Amino acid sequence: MLVSEKDTMASTPGAQPSKHTRFERNGYTAEVVISDSALGSIYHYVIQRDGSPELLHCGQEVSMQRALECIHEFIDKRSSRAS
């Protein structure tokens, strides 16, 4: 489930703002931050358990679709192990 989507401030002078998207599913929270460069967009993602500061998994992909696939694959594997 998409929880929020917003633009965030760029950390590098002259850089474009990054888009930040947050998802919640099966007791996990995943966040995707999109950074744009001259070479194209990079989709950075992190996955945590809801309410936990522990980082369970992170990665980078070249498309939002691929980042979401990785997030869903991770959550599906974790959820099936817990059953």
pLDDT in tens, 46-83: 999 999 999 999 999 999 999 999 999 999 999 888 76
The pTM is what?
Answer: 0.76
78, containing H or E segment: helix 64-82
| Distance, CA of 19 to CA of 52 (rounded, Å) | 23
